[in-house]
Amino acid sequence: MEVKVVLFNHNFQELSNRQFIRSKGIYAWLGAFLGYFFDYYEVALISIIVVSVANLYHESHLMASLGPALLLLFIAVGGVTMGHFADKLGRKNIMYISILIYALAALLRAATFDYVYFLVLTAIGGFGLGAEFGVGQSLVTEVVPRKSRGFWSGAFYGSGGFGILLAGAVGIYLLPVVGFRWVFVFSGLISFLAFSVMKLTPESSIWKNEKDLVKKERVTVSIWNPKIFGALILMLILATIQFFMYYLVNSSLPIYLVSKGLTIVSASWFIFLIGGGVTTGSFLGAYLSDIIG
């Protein structure tokens, strides 16, 4: 397999932060920010709400754990599949599709009539969310100013912390009052708000230039080059270990705590605190990355 690398200048990356904020590029960052927000919101929310759904249909805690497991599996499937199409159809178009899939799946789960129906729609929603993982990061990397790419990329990941915070707040304050069906309605409706931002979001100039390019200087790089392939495998291993540790705690903690006698509200507080830590770490790390490397 070979990868074609196109060499040309991207003047938009030389913008200052102030110019970037005033330009349409900030909407691309914000659109990706909101997409990633819903990714982590959904994972944290399902880890909380699956207990209520499983109890309603008299399922065991083992069956309850299938909810977060299927969600994460199809996030991975969606990320790989839709990441491929993002190179063909554009970053913005795929993000539109991802938000639509998740929003519809969330709304349809409000009509859950058995546990299998819930699991199927959770998997479909996960597929939509997975499309945003890599695509959103690609869009952010391609539009933000080069000199402050560390900050904007790190702050983009901070949206995941906000998503976890909202999921924890929903578990604490909303779920006990309205029940899980109206929580899914709420989740689906607020995800549609991202469409208003996406309308203002420009497509990646790098992607458009690549598509519009007739012929410019190209360098052919083999993906099987030992250094490139080795770096890819190493990053894959490190990312797998990192996400294993994170999701082992984040997606399993509410189910475990409830099985030990805590209420869903009490378990939701732990998710809320995790969200606070993720948010703080993301923004602090983002700020320091452009200063100390």
| Percent of the chain surpassing pLDDT 90 | 19
Q: Residue 6 above 70 pLDDT? A: no
Q: How confident is the model at residue 199 (pLDDT cuts 50, 70, 90)?
A: confident
pLDDT per residue as tens digits for the range 202-230: 777 777 776 665 445 554 555 567 777 78
Alpha helices in 3-148 (DSSP H): 17-22, 25-56, 61-64, 66-89, 91-109, 115-143
For residues 24 and 200, is the Cβ–Cβ distance under 8 A?
yes
Give 281: exposed, middle or buried? Use CB within 10 Å, 0-12, 13-18, 19+.
middle
Tokens of 34: 């909101």
Q: What pLDDT does 213 receive?
A: 54
| Beta-strand pair 2-6/218-222 | antiparallel
Number of CB atoms found within 10 A of residue 152's CB: 22
Phi, psi at residue 40, to the nearest 5°?
-75, -30
Tokens of 100: 């639509």
Q: Residue 7 above 50 pLDDT? A: no
Task: Pick the closest to residue 201 from 22, 24, 23, 18 (CA basis).
Answer: 24
pLDDT per residue as tens digits for the range 234-291: 888 887 887 777 777 777 778 888 888 888 888 889 888 888 888 888 888 877 877 7
Q: How confident is the model at residue 184 (pLDDT cuts 50, 70, 90)?
A: very high
Cα(31)–Cα(20) distance, rounded to whole angstroms?
15
Q: What pLDDT does 109 receive?
A: 94
Tokens of 127: 């597929």
- Of residues 194 and 117, more confidence is placed in 117
Q: What pLDDT does 258 receive?
A: 84
